[in-house]
Amino acid sequence: MAEAGDRLFVTVAKEDDVLEGSMFSVAVSGRPILLSKIGGRIYAVDAVCSHMFGYLPRGKQEGCVVTCPIHGAQYDITSGEVVKNVGALMKRASRREASRLQTYEVQLASGEVRIKTQ
């Protein structure tokens, strides 16, 4: 855990572990979170697709967009916004569509990556 003034921040990785343009997965209280460095800045977002729970770190990242390996929903890692939803047929069949992912505030301190959990 972080210091008194930053009680809600949890150390999740070393800054050097998160490489530019790649995905790094961590878990906080059992919740999978995807870390990615884009343009020199580290972002944190839920690591599970909101459509049918695909594990996003197994997907493909291009720039700031990650594609779910199961049905192809795409998300902007920097904002959690849906870039491309699943197709109409899949929406109808699953009765679900992709929705915005939870994002987390990231803090860098002493070479460590910390995320705000609440």
User: What is the domain extent for residue 44?
Assistant: 4-116
Residue 68: phi and psi, rounded to 5, are -65, 135
Instruction: State which H helix or E strand residue 107 sits in.
Output: strand 106-109
| More reliable by pLDDT, 115 or 7 | 115
Residue with tokens 């910390």: 114
- Does this model's pTM top 0.85? My answer is yes
Give me the CATH number covering residue 97: 2.102.10.10
At 33, which amino acid appears? I
CA distance 1 to 14: 14
pLDDT at position 5 over 70: no
Per-residue pLDDT tens digits for 44-77: 999 999 999 999 999 999 999 999 999 999 999 9
Instruction: Give the chain's domain count.
Output: 1
Residue 111: phi and psi, rounded to 5, are 80, 10
